[in-house]
Amino acid sequence: MPFTISGTLRNKLPLEERDDIKEILLIKSESKCFLCELAFNENTDLLEVDHDVPESLGGETKASNLNLTHQSCNRSKKGLPTEQIRPYIKFMKFMENLQGPVKYDGVLQHFGIDPALTKCTLGAETASFIFPATTESVEVPLYCDVRSGVEFYYCFLKVPRRAIYNDNAIQPRNIDVEHVRKIYTDTLQNPLHEPANVRIDVAFHGEQNCDLKLFDGQHKTIATWLHGDDSVGCKVYFNIPIRRATRLVNSIQSLITKLPLSALESGAKMSEEHQSSFNEYVQSLAGDEQPTETGFIEFHPKNDQNRVKKAFKEGLAAKLLEDDLPDVAKYTRKGSKQGLTHQTITERALITKLFGQLIESKPLSSTNRSEMRDRERVNVARMVNCWLESCFAVTHGDESGQLRQSRMSYQGSLSMIGYAMKLIFARVVNHAEGEQPLLFVEPTADQWERIEHQIGRLGSHPLWMDALTTTPRLRALQNSMQKNQGWKDAFREAHLDLVYFGGDGPPQANWRGSSE
């Protein structure tokens, strides 16, 4: 839409600029946002007038200090001078244009970084490095700490940007643009005190080509590149096993209050720790004894079993998301309100409410647990993907689609949707719900067609788009969605039930209840 000049701003302008200020700024802009330097359309984009040097820092309100910007860019500036905030805003725009979440290696294109191998020589007391595109050797002291009988070798040094790879084996965290902003703006004045953590696998003595893998400190490293620095301070661990590095990054993240691991990221890390521990349990079995989930829990000391149970439960959800639901990240966000408009489901609600209904969280005593879990994962993934495609993959200019997506993202709604999917599945395959059908049954093609039709019916019920304030029943329904209380009864009274799922027409005429 065409931009406007507020009366307050216009009155601050010199008299000779007030009448022609819009034309002056349009000509000056050359149809590019002053902050991100990307093109804009003056007739369709949301534009705002920005002070190059903010008023709070003494900037004047006159044409020479004013520029046209995207609204989102201007509101991300937050009182900083353009020259300081522009690197971040360009990065923010780059991230907005990416498809889905990314880790450190997903942003290297923005900085023109193409990682290459480093030559490393590990001696008895020092470590030497020849970084990419250089011939000079950098030698630093080598340190060793012993913990629980294990030797940890490490050093400290400045590592150039081209030498750093993402640690794809253990790096759990997706890049959070707002967290990058916090570190970047903080380091406009303050130095970084904690180094990034990388690991390297290299034999003692003799030169080797190695990759330096970044496993903690993605955000501070990106903030460093935004400052235009060529290198970042790192603590380099030598030959640390993946399991030890995983536990180390878990320990580091548990102490960070600014940006703890999100629910999905935490689940991914817990899953790795769970799998490593499960392998130890399997190796401890004697003779023909077969592993079970209950046996795995009992394998641990009693004072550690609660934590193991948590890792086990979160690992089930993490494996499902990693292997079978790659598109779910398009619609999920962390607990804050940040993110794109279509990321309406919080990660914690997805795991505890939706998956809490669908995934059997009680450890299985059956020796067929692997086959059963694989079957459960396939069944759950197909139903959830069907739901996302029929209810969330909409054009986001569609107001009714946005409203449905928003309402389906409430905790009570997600609990109901998971519960309804399980009911639909059990009825179609003619299996009692209480007997965990998702673990035991592989539906036929015909049964899947019926299941997916009924899941589509779930999203077609008018309660997702209707005004929920016209009757006491609808107000109670809205309250149950938002507060996650009494949702079974509330949805049942609105006729979101097996009778409706199994039909083809609208719900019963009285689904809204009686008006006052």
Q: What one-character-per-residue DSSP string does 301-366 give?
A: -GGGHHHHHHHHHHHHHHHHHHHH-GGGGGGEE-SSS-S-TT--EEHHHIIIIIHHHHS--SPP--
For the domain spanning 104-252, the CATH number is 3.90.1530.10
Mean predicted confidence (pLDDT) in 40-55: 88
Q: What SS3 string covers 288-306?
A: CCCCCHHHHHHCCCHHHHH
Taking 50 as the threshold, does the pLDDT of residue 456 lie above it?
yes
User: Which class in CATH covers the domain with range 7-96?
Assistant: mainly alpha
Distance CA 66, CA 43 (A): 19
pLDDT surpasses 50 at 258: no
pLDDT digits (tens, 9 = 90+) for 99-147: 778 899 999 999 999 999 999 999 889 999 999 999 999 999 999 999 8
Number of H helices, E strands in the chain: 22, 14
Residue 340 pLDDT exceeds 50: no
Torsion sign, CA atoms 186, 190, 191, 197: negative
Convert the pLDDT of each residue in 478-509 to its tens digit.
999 888 889 999 999 999 999 999 888 888 88
The pLDDT, as a whole number, for residue 434 is: 60
Is the pTM for the entire model greater than 0.95?
A: no
Question: What confidence tier does 513 reach under pLDDT thresholds 50, 70, 90?
Answer: confident
Domain regions of the chain by residue span: 7-96, 104-252, 330-501
Q: What proportion of the chain, given as a percentage, has pLDDT over 70?
A: 89
Provide the b/e sequence for 100-117 (b: ≥16 CB within 10 Å): ebebbbebbebeebebee
